[in-house]
Amino acid sequence: MSINRVLLVTLLSASSALAQETNDPFPEPISSTDGVIQVNFSEFASVPDIDGQPARMMLLSDEPGTGRLFVNDMRGQLYSIDYDGQRVTQYLDIDDADWGVGVQSSRNELGF
């Protein structure tokens, strides 16, 4: 090992050992009104609960030319929502017994 490498490792080790921490990273109080971004929102539409559990909506998609939005629930339901948000209609239920395949919807699934 060359002397330059040994010297470099020694200097890097010493500089990290001499690094200091602060107990107060913000000595001056941060104003709660400076640079604040205000967001106004209103509820657009509400997807119905399923078996007493709130909907687990994962994706909202606009279908051009239909005047509708589509939103899916992790438990297998697909809903159609008018652009004004006034009408929410179940479009498809993948978990319906007629399909013969149950949707696994517990814990950490990440898809429809």
Q: How many CB atoms lie within 10 A of CB 80?
A: 17
Residue 52 lies in a domain: yes
Residue 106 lies in a domain: no
3-class SS of residue 70: strand
Residue 105 lies in a domain: no
- What residues pair up with 79 in beta bridges, in sequence order? 71, 90
Does 68 or 111 have the greater pLDDT score? Answer: 68
In percent, how much of the chain has pLDDT > 70? 89
Q: What is the pTM for the complete model shown? A: 0.58
Residue 31 lies in a domain: no
Q: How confident is the model at residue 80 (pLDDT cuts 50, 70, 90)?
A: very high
Residue 54 lies in a domain: yes
Residue 79 lies in a domain: yes
Q: How many structural domains are present in the chain?
A: 1
Q: Which domain holds residue 55?
A: 48-96
Residue 70 lies in a domain: yes
